[in-house]
Amino acid sequence: MRAQRIAIAIILAGIVAGTLTILLAALPELGCEGQPTALSMPRAAEREITAERTVRQVFVSPRNGLNRLDVYFQTYFRTNTHPVTVRLLQLAPGNDPLASGTEQFSATFDPAGLPAQGWRMFNFAPLPDSAGQTYVIVIESPESVPGNAVTVGGMIGANPYAPGPAFVGGVPLDGDIAFRACYQMSAAEKWQVFFEQLTHNRPGVWGSPGFYVILLLGYAALIAVLFGWLAKRVS
């Protein structure tokens, strides 16, 4: 009987820990905009970031408080040794997307610590008037050379992020890099934006926030029923 109670306690702890882990992991990404998919890119040699191959991604901020950029980097298990710089430029209305713009943020880092593939976050002071503004993410590494250079994820042969184009070495890219633009918001505001994103242009009940609220309540009810059943088994 004691072994059964221990097993049930472990199951309960696992359910609670798993649910909390999912919620805590999801919270920083809620309310972010951009192109979060890193698929269908050509081989690494064709998209290394070198002196001749600066990467630029144009995006439009939908709200105020822009305070974080995430970029999906890939190293293909190589140890890259040359510094990489990520800059955020603001473009004046109607400006050429390759224009220099006004720098709002810049960070240089050592790519040796990057994982084989994954997101890197860049935090900065919130931009209070970012809503409706056009920005450019610039990723450059003037000292990098082929074989010793990081790459960036994204999608080729599609236009997943319609509001802005991407460029590699000044040449328009038939696709977009993988990036997220995040904003200073309360947890409640983040969930509101999340449901707006989830239901945008969805047909039928899939376009109703209430449908997803019911799903979440149903999940919570099932967890409660499971807890009650396990509690009876222990008693």
For 210-220, what is the mean pLDDT? 70
20 confidence band (pLDDT: 50, 70, 90): very low
Q: Which residues pair with 145 in a beta bridge?
A: 148
- The answer to whether the beta carbons of residues 161 and 34 sit under 8 Å apart is yes
Contact at 8 Å (CB) between 163 and 170? no
Q: b/e string for 135-156 if b means 16 or more Cβ within 10 A?
A: bbbbbbbeebeeebbbbbbbbe
**pLDDT above 60 for 189:** yes
CB burial of residue 127 (10 Å; 0-12, 13-18, 19+): buried
Q: How far apart are CA 140 and CA 144, in angstroms?
A: 9
Taking the C-alpha atoms of residue 43 and residue 111, their distance in angstroms, rounded to an integer, is: 19
Q: Could you report the per-residue pLDDT of 90-115, keeping only the tens digit for each?
A: 999 888 889 889 999 999 999 998 99
How many percent of the chain have pLDDT more than 70? Answer: 69
∠ CA(112), CA(118), CA(124), 5° rounding?
80
DSSP string, 163-215: T--EEETTEEESEEE-EEEEE---HHHHHHHHHHHHHTT--GGGG-HHHHHHH
pLDDT on residue 178: 93
Confidence band for 118, pLDDT divided at 50, 70 and 90: very high
Poorest-pLDDT segment among 49-63, 133-147, 190-204, 216-230: 190-204
**Are 179 and 68 contacting, i.e. CB atoms less than 8 angstroms apart?**
no
Nearest to 36 by CA among 179, 198, 193: 179
On average, the pLDDT of the chain sits at 81
pLDDT of residue 37: 85
27-52: per-residue pLDDT in tens? 556 778 899 888 755 555 567 899 88
